[in-house]
Amino acid sequence: MPDRYTPQVVDHLVRPRNAGEIPDPSGRGESGHAACGDIASFTVGISENVIEEVRYKVYGCAACIAAGSALSELVDGKRIVEAARVSKTDIEEALGGPLPAGKEHALTLVLDALHKAFEDHWNHAAGEMLLSGEKKPGNGGKSVVAAMSGGVDSAVTALLLKEAGYDVVAVTYRLHDGEKGSRSCCSPDTVLFARDTAHRMGLPHFTLNLKELFDRRVMQDFVGSYREGRTPNPCVACNAHVKFHASAFLADELGYHHVATGHYARVEQGPTLGRPVDESKDQSYVLWPVPQELLARTIFPLGEYRKTEVRAIAEERGLAVAYTPESQDICFIPDGNYRGFVRKQVEAEPGDVVDRGGKVLGRHAGVVDFTVGQRRRIGVSAPTPLYVTEVRPTTGQVVVGRKQDLEVREVAVRDLNLFLDAGEAASVQVRYNSRPVPCTVEETTDGEWIAYLDEPVVGVAPGQSAVFYTEDEARVVGGGVVARRAA
């Protein structure tokens, strides 16, 4: 690494291009912090997906000033997709070679500021769309918007699509403030890492800010479920209202046809969801709420691969993500303490622990602490293990019983999203990582389904997803939410 600046850096320092700011920009982005010593801001004027004007400002070292100047030149007049492809390496090349040791952050800083301006532009363009989950119709072409989290699955997804000849745009979502590596100045590490990964593959990258939508449709629903004695599934809620809609929005704005994610599932005739090659990774269960018209334009490249193959592809192609650990749990509760998260937002009211006959066995601190099937921390001693069989938020009662009291033979399902004819439903899966149970389905007058199970199932909780599969269990007929059992 060199120990001094190139003449190009000095030239940009003394004669910065596109200095200043646009008064009424399409998007504005700022990265960095005065206390870190560097701040960069970009304003962009975008029309018909072309960057008609770009202006930047920097307080910072010569590297930051020059990098901002060079970046502004690189994107000025370009189509937004091409501008989003400009990488740190491109900026370095424009500056005549690598920056001196310790100055690389300048590249991250100015790129982050520009990308935040793009993000702001998309937020303006989306208006209410990214808040409500409404969507516009799509266009044609062999083009795809691929969601990219920074993990191995989504990175290989984008790579496979690129190698299959698609025009790929990678997109990362800002969903909440608890992202790994969050700080006040730059974007969280996850976003920066995803951007780097996309750029190393030569792909354009955008970030969409979905925090408000995610909060409204996923996090508040999560908390509300506990308050109402239901067991939430935030990943399902996210698939139902956030991810696919946001990808489709960006695809529509860019005139791209498809959307893709790194889920292990397939799109089968119908269209409907199908189980993937790697059944141990099957995610068809959490994808049931994706609207059929969105599923029709969705690609799940990983449905054809085993997880081990995906890791091998990543290693073979030298993707740095190959060694990242599996993401687990709920993304907005990284410490896994769901109760603590819910308790922060919900006032817990004490109530009675009762048996099925209504006899009071003890007291509890709040119904939000309980879900159906729970065995631990009930606070009542008994000769045989006790399980929560029902949570009654209106009376504040937590009903407990023996394990066999958890068994159900019929499940009521509401809020259905159907891909195939009801007649094709032959089995139902009521929990992630479990097998479907054969059943017969009856439709009620108010649009709910009653699934009569061939064998009893333990621990079916209101709020969970019930997903119906075809006779051969290869395809999803539809899914819905387990309703509260009639008392």
Partner 1 sequence: MIDLVYLDNAATTPLDGRVFESMLPHLGGCRGNPSSLHALGNAARDAVEGARASVAALIGAAPEEVVFSSGGTESDAIAVLGLARSAPSEKRHVVVSSVEHAAVREDTKRLEEEGFEVSWIGVDADGVVDLDEFAAALRPDTALAATIWANNEVGTVEPIRELASLCSEREIPFHSDAVQAAGRVPIDVSEVPVSTLAISGHKLYGPQGVGALYVRGGVSPEPIVYGGGQERGIRSGTQNVAGIVGLGAAAGLAREEMDERVAHERSLCDRILAGVEKIPDVILNGHRERRLTNNVHLRVSGVEAESLVLFLDSLGFAVGSGSACSSGGHKASPVLIAMGRSERDAFSVVRITVGKDNTVEEVDGFLQAFTVAVGQLRELSPLYAG
Which span sits near partner 1 by CB under 8 A: 10-18, 206-214, 226-234, 378-386?
10-18
- 213: nearest Cα among 109, 294, 143, 133: 133
Tokens (6 digits) for 106: 């300048």
Closest separation between CB of residue 242 and partner 1, Å?
Answer: 33
- CA distances for 426 relative to 239, 410, 471, angstroms: 24, 14, 5
- 169: nearest Cα among 238, 83, 104, 100: 83
Which span sits near partner 1 by CB under 8 A: 38-46, 200-208, 338-346, 452-460?
38-46
Closer Cβ to partner 1, 10 or 365, answer by number: 10
- Answer yes or no: 235 catalytic: no
Closest separation between CB of residue 177 and partner 1, Å?
Answer: 22
Our finding on whether 458 is near partner 1 (CB under 8 A) is no
Closer Cβ to partner 1, 10 or 320, answer by number: 10
Which span sits near partner 1 by CB under 8 A: 28-36, 152-160, 203-211, 215-223?
28-36
CB-neighbour burial class of residue 177 (10 A; exposed 0-12, middle 13-18, buried 19+): exposed
Mask: binding to partner 1, 84-103, rule CB under 8 A, as x and -?
A: -----------------xxx
- 208: nearest Cα among 223, 226, 187, 227: 187
Closest separation between CB of residue 187 and partner 1, Å?
Answer: 15
Q: Where are the alpha helices (DSSP H) in 201-333?
A: 211-214, 220-227, 234-241, 243-254, 292-295, 307-316
Contacts 24+ apart (CB under 8 A), 181-187: 184/33, 185/31, 185/32, 185/33, 185/36, 186/31, 186/32, 186/108, 186/109, 186/112, 187/31, 187/112, 187/115, 187/116
Which span sits near partner 1 by CB under 8 A: 11-19, 190-198, 421-429, 468-476?
11-19
Q: Which of 16, 138, 289, 401 binds partner 1 (CB under 8 A)?
A: 16
The total of other beta-carbon atoms located within 10 Å of residue 165's CB is 8
Our finding on whether 19 is near partner 1 (CB under 8 A) is yes
Our finding on whether 36 is near partner 1 (CB under 8 A) is yes
Our finding on whether 10 is near partner 1 (CB under 8 A) is yes
Q: Cα(158)–Cα(365) distance, rounded to whole angstroms? A: 47
Q: Are 286 and 233 in contact (CB under 8 A)?
A: yes
Closer Cβ to partner 1, 19 or 474, answer by number: 19
The DSSP call for residue 483 is: P
Which span sits near partner 1 by CB under 8 A: 52-60, 139-147, 211-219, 466-474?
52-60
Name the packing angle between helices 62-75 and 105-126 (round to 10°).
40
Q: Return the SS3 of 160.
A: helix
Q: Which of 1, 2, 14, 409 binds partner 1 (CB under 8 A)?
A: 14
H or E stretch including 200?
A: helix 189-200
Q: Which of 25, 26, 29, 41 binds partner 1 (CB under 8 A)?
A: 41
Q: Which of 1, 2, 34, 454 binds partner 1 (CB under 8 A)?
A: 34
Closest separation between CB of residue 65 and partner 1, Å?
Answer: 5
Closer Cβ to partner 1, 71 or 130, answer by number: 71
Mask: binding to partner 1, 239-258, rule CB under 8 A, as x and -?
A: --------------------
Closer Cβ to partner 1, 42 or 419, answer by number: 42
Closest separation between CB of residue 183 and partner 1, Å?
Answer: 11
Closer Cβ to partner 1, 35 or 486, answer by number: 35
Residue with tokens 């006779």: 471
Which residue(s) pair with 428 in the sheet?
437, 468
Q: Which of 23, 24, 35, 435 binds partner 1 (CB under 8 A)?
A: 35
Chain Cα centroid distance, residue 226: 21
Chain Cα centroid distance, residue 255: 22
Q: Are 155 and 148 in contact (CB under 8 A)?
A: yes
Cis check: omega of the bond before 271, within 30 degrees of 0: yes
Closer Cβ to partner 1, 120 or 369, answer by number: 120
Our finding on whether 30 is near partner 1 (CB under 8 A) is yes
Closest separation between CB of residue 93 and partner 1, Å?
Answer: 21
Q: Which of 2, 37, 141, 447 binds partner 1 (CB under 8 A)?
A: 37
Residues that bind partner 1 (rule: CB under 8 A) add up to a total of 28
| Options 64, 186, 235, 331, the catalytic residue | 331
- 360: nearest Cα among 316, 413, 398: 398
Give residues 55-84 in contact with partner 1 (rule: CB under 8 A). Answer: 57-62, 64-65
Closest separation between CB of residue 32 and partner 1, Å?
Answer: 9
Tokens (6 digits) for 64: 């930051």
Chain Cα centroid distance, residue 102: 33
Give residues 258-287 in contact with partner 1 (rule: CB under 8 A). Answer: none
Our finding on whether 105 is near partner 1 (CB under 8 A) is yes
- Answer yes or no: 64 catalytic: no
Tokens (6 digits) for 181: 């590596």
Closest separation between CB of residue 76 and partner 1, Å?
Answer: 17
Q: Are 475 and 242 in contact (CB under 8 A)?
A: no
Residues known to be catalytic: 238, 331
Binding site for partner 1 (CB under 8 A): 5, 10, 13-14, 16, 19-20, 30, 34-41, 57-62, 64-65, 101-103, 105
